Chains A and B, each alone.
Chain A
């Protein structure tokens, strides 16, 4: 019923899910991304948080870091929401819908990082929060330019060779996703992976990786 005309990049549609005008789909390419995100969401859901031990050199003393149930619960919720938003972004067949899922990934990433009570990490979460909020400007501006110049938002029509999407809209979309997916930079810089509650941090990396791969596919196909 629905078919992609250009199948060089991602192959033909395997399945589609219609929600009114928003018709989500899976191709072999996006199906791999979807399964990848789903597996890591399940890992985040069933795993217990890591409790690190710091050993003081030159003695027998060591510190154990504690993770409260409250914090673990919140991080697990945010990790699950992040995974669902990532899967939604992969599944989406509509540009505006995709930008919304991307913005949701950005918000949940802030939530995962901000739940750790450490001054250094919270400073970085604040910086990332500003970046994610600035990033929504090019993200939604890209979608707005696409709808103004082509008159539609559906990827099924935008991917056909008849419709030309302006270069600046593609650039805006890419740098918008770049800002939302910048969280791993902060995670690495602030050494958040060493903070308590490590498995949930995984979702930050997974979501940004998957979203980058998806936005590149969208921009090349348009």
Chain B
């Protein structure tokens, strides 16, 4: 068999496409590993992330004092004029938690009125909207498939 026939015999079956694609991904990742010495981390990050173990809001601490403007980096500060005003705000309850323990940062960030990350909700707010839309579409498909056999 010629090579074209061999290749087309594999590609004509759509059940093989996932395997072919996975091989392609592995191939590109091998190229990536081979060229890894040429790639270097850029220290001047637009969205910096640091972990301060002394902070009660660790690892979600974005700095700043409540009711004062915090320093939040943005690519285009002219597009988000009110950046930095809410990132340090905590409700009285979460402020109480943060005064008393160093280990409840995740609890504070995950309950209503906790830390509002302005990179997520202000400068990159559109991304957050699309992420939730993807989730809702996935739910809509699952719901449709699950309830398809019900009689109306």
Contact = CB atoms under 8 A, between A and B. Distances in A.
A147 B137 contact: no
B42 A151 contact: yes
Nearest to A190: B14
Contacts of A178: 21, 24
Given A97-B126, A151-B46, A111 B137 contact: yes
Contacts of B32: 145, 168, 171-172
A52 interface: no
B110 interface: no
B8 interface: no
Given A20-B122, A157-B75, A171-B31, A104 B41 contact: no
Interface residues of A, number: 57
Contacts of B45: 147, 151
B109 to A, nearest CB: 20
Interface in A152-181: 152-154, 157, 166-168, 171-172, 175, 178-179
A172 B33 CA distance: 12
A interface majority secondary structure: helix
Contacts of A172: 28, 32
B14 A185 contact: yes
B21 A131 contact: yes
B148 interface: yes
Interface in A182-202: 182, 185-186, 189-190
Interface of B: 14-15, 17-18, 21-22, 24-25, 28-29, 31-32, 35, 38-47, 74-76, 79-80, 122-127, 130-131, 133-134, 137-138, 140-141, 144-145, 148, 152
A43 interface: no
A70 B41 contact: no
A114 B137 CA distance: 13
Contact of B130 (A104, A110, A189): A104
A108 to B, nearest CB: 6
Contact of B44 (A111, A115, A131, A151): A151
Interface in A109-158: 110-111, 114-115, 117, 124, 127, 130-131, 134-135, 137-138, 145, 147-154, 157
